[in-house]
Structure 1
Amino acid sequence: MTDSPNNTSIRTRTDWIFFAILGVVAGTYVLFLSGLIIADFAYMTNAARENESAGSAIVDALNRPEIRASIRLSLLSCTITTILSLWVAVPVGYVMSRCRFPGRDFVDALLDIPIVLPPLVVGLSLLILFQFPPFAWFNRYIVYQTPAVILAQFVVSAAFAVRTMRSTFDNLDPRREQVALTLGCTRAQAFGMVTFPEAWPGILTAGTLAWARALGEFGPLLVFAGATRYKTEVLSTTIFLELSIGNLQAAVAVSLIMVFAAVIVLMLTRMWGRRDLTT
């Protein structure tokens, strides 16, 4: 049975309306996100015109030693946080995807707590945790010290990485792993030779999310690590410090630096992801 010309015309018209609505909603959101970045650039451009002798605000920000120190600490802490997050996320995601055990739903909900909790609550909980043994024994070496930056970033970033890795393993066909087991491989060998290589795009995505989330972390850092210059100051807290003294131009400049860093990481990830698909 074939559709009549009238039915075809009506379907074409309704399809056009449907996609037009989707396009308006999606386009509005994309324009809004673009507007956020364009507004920052416009502000910096106007500031440069009003004070031509100051030069580029971004260059000026990069020339300040305290901001260079925050950039170095941000790059170091985000990289360490990403490595630690993947170190935890791969096995936890695999266990949650492949294993069934009592209390699994409770553990699954527990793993999402850093995602749903307000950031300040995460920082406060870390601060309270290090008041009790055995964590209290390391209080003076961690709280309001550089390791606190990494730990505060890790608590939240690892949750996103775990959720990504679990979704990755859920989407992988377990039959290949079962075939490897029937051919004489141990569970560890089957994971290392079959499952892990297939999960590499997901690992790359989880690492990207962890790095980007660590870069933008603020609330837990402010409560648990503080914002001390040359010690625990990272880019997100630099924005807070510059705003607190009314230096809006420097705050916007640091914000653009963070945008550039995030865009570069996302572009590299997509390039590597496409390369993995083509090889």
Structure 2
Amino acid sequence: MIDSDTRRRLRAQDIGFYTVFATISATYVLLILLLLGADALSTSPREFFRALAKPPIQYSILLTMASCTISAIASMWVAIPVGYLLSRHKFPGRSLVDAILDIPIVLPPLVIGLSLLILFQFWPFSLISGAVVYQIPAVILAQFTVACAFAVRTMRATFDQIDPRHEQVALTLGASRMMAFLLVVLPEARRGMLTALTLAWARALGEFGPLLIFAGTTRMKTEVLSTSVFLELTIGDLEAAIAVSLLMVLAAVVVLVIARVWGTREVLT
């Protein structure tokens, strides 16, 4: 039994402990809110809609929506099988493969863009370099390269949370491996799949470095929202740059809300 003096002492220690942790947490949350508030207060609704009425920015919005969606869907086609294999099976070189898949996450973005640019100087990629480099496919490929790594991490965590015995029961009842995967595993992973898809989309939205090197920043051609901010700053239109930034923040918030509400919160990374 804990006496009253000990209980009061522990309670006092807990108050100090949680006060320090809560202060640190609140400070960081406040910093994020101040960043967003500073952007919002730096422009007006009139300037915001004036910037969005510019043809190059309207083009970048359409290209961003299309390229992020394509790269996110492509990421899922890779993330689902890769995440499943890493979660369910131990094979030679598994740790090495796992480490390789993290490379796009830890590499500086400019290095990824430069590596893609160099890759397309070698055969057989050089055969199609004219149709890819500094073209719209380069935008999608650059976004996919980074976004897919995040989708793989999320899908692996999703499959780790699914009890493999459910799949084994389906196999013992006569289902093939593919049937068990499609009819048992995937339905249980649907929330994690939504989370992976939305996170990949959001990550593609924020890409800049690889696009700058590999796709370029040509207006009305390879310009997406992230490069629009850069281009507007270079010509001195700060209000337009802020407007595009706010639009990206809004899109990111919507995507993250979707992931939090309908996705699997435990696998958010």
Q: Normalising by structure 1, what TM-score? A: 0.92
Q: 1:89 aligns with which of 71, 79, 89?
A: 79
Alignment of 1:1-279 (within 5 A): 2-44=1-43, 48=44, 56-273=46-263
Alpha-carbon shift at residue 208 of structure 1 (Å): 1.1
CA contact (8 A) 2:199 2:259 kept: no
CA contact (8 A) 1:67 1:235 kept: yes
Tell me which residue corresponds to 2:267.
none
Alpha-carbon shift at residue 16 of structure 1 (Å): 1.5
> In the alignment, residue 198 of structure 1 is paired with which amino acid?
E
Q: In 1, Cα distance between the equivalents of 2:258 and 2:112?
A: 30
> In the alignment, residue 55 of structure 2 is paired with which amino acid?
P
> In the alignment, residue 38 of structure 1 is paired with which amino acid?
G
CA contact (8 A) 2:228 2:241 kept: yes
Structure 1, 75-84 or 2-11: larger mean CA deviation: 2-11
Structure 1 residue ranges without an equivalent (≥5): 49-54, 275-279
> In the alignment, residue 138 of structure 1 is paired with which amino acid?
I
Q: In 2, Cα distance between the equivalents of 1:264 and 1:143?
A: 31
Tell me the number of residue pairs that the alignment of Structure 1 and Structure 2 aligns: 264
SS of equivalent to 2:42: helix
Segments of 4+ moved more than 6 angstroms: none
Percent identity over the alignment is: 59
Deviations 1:249-269 (A, max 9, x none): 111110000001111122233
CA contact (8 A) 2:83 2:159 kept: yes
Q: In 1, Cα distance between the equivalents of 2:166 and 2:258?
A: 30
Structure 1, 263-272 or 163-172: larger mean CA deviation: 263-272
> In the alignment, residue 180 of structure 1 is paired with which amino acid?
A
Q: Normalising by structure 2, what TM-score? A: 0.95
SS of equivalent to 2:220: coil
Q: In 1, Cα distance between the equivalents of 2:147 and 2:197?
A: 9
Q: In 2, Cα distance between the equivalents of 1:93 and 1:273?
A: 17
Structure 1, 257-266 or 214-223: larger mean CA deviation: 257-266
Alpha-carbon shift at residue 237 of structure 1 (Å): 0.3
Tell me which residue corresponds to 1:52.
none
Deviations 1:188-219 (A, max 9, x none): 11111111111111111111110001000000
Q: In 1, Cα distance between the equivalents of 2:263 and 2:91?
A: 33
Q: In 2, Cα distance between the equivalents of 1:256 and 1:56?
A: 14
Structure 2 residue ranges without an equivalent (≥5): 265-269
Q: In 1, Cα distance between the equivalents of 2:134 and 2:21?
A: 47
CA contact (8 A) 1:115 1:156 kept: yes
> In the alignment, residue 2 of structure 2 is paired with which amino acid?
D
CA contact (8 A) 1:89 1:165 kept: yes
> Aligned Cα RMSD in Å?
1.2
Alpha-carbon shift at residue 271 of structure 1 (Å): 3.1
Q: In 2, Cα distance between the equivalents of 1:203 and 1:18?
A: 37
Q: In 2, Cα distance between the equivalents of 1:181 and 1:211?
A: 34
Alpha-carbon shift at residue 270 of structure 1 (Å): 2.8
CA contact (8 A) 1:58 1:257 kept: no
Q: In 2, Cα distance between the equivalents of 1:189 and 1:18?
A: 51
